[in-house]
């Protein structure tokens, strides 16, 4: 099912032990389809797929999508701090 045009706003906020994620989407009527994404460079690899998924749903309209990811500070102990030795073994 495709929508011919739409005007709306939506916001998703979620978090876990590793990060806080906020996604906002704003759409207004427009004669042609135009999708603008603002997100961390970490997500650049999904930009084309995300625009394609939005275009599959909307025939026309101007859509702005904002993604904000905040990593929480965590402390990681290295193997020397734990008193153990870790080794990497390569194999095919």
Structural domain contains residue 19? yes
Structural domain contains residue 64? yes
Structural domain contains residue 87? no
Structural domain contains residue 91? no
pLDDT tens, 34-56?
999 999 998 899 999 999 999 99
Decide the pairing of beta strands 33-38 and 61-71: parallel
Structural domain contains residue 86? no
Answer for the pair 38, 67: CB distance below 8 angstroms, yes or no: yes
Range of the domain at 18: 8-72
Confidence of residue 20 (pLDDT cuts 50, 70, 90): very high
Structural domain contains residue 41? yes
Q: What is the dihedral of CA 67, 73, 78, 81, to 10 degrees?
A: -170
Question: Residue 69 and residue 19: Cα distance in Å, rounded?
Answer: 7
Answer for the pair 7, 29: CB distance below 8 angstroms, yes or no: yes
Domain count, the chain: 1
Structural domain contains residue 54? yes
């Amino acid at each position: 099912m495709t929508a011919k045009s739409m005007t709306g706003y939506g916001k998703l906020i979620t978090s876990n032990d590793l990060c806080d994620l906020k996604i906002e989407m704003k759409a207004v009527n427009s004669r042609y389809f135009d999708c603008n994404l603002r997100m961390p460079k970490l997500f650049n690899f999904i930009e084309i797929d995300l625009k394609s998924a939005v275009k599959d749903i909307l025939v026309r309209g101007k859509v702005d999508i904002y993604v904000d990811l905040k990593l929480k500070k965590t402390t990681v102990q290295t193997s020397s701090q734990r008193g153990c030795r870790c080794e990497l073994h390569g194999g095919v």
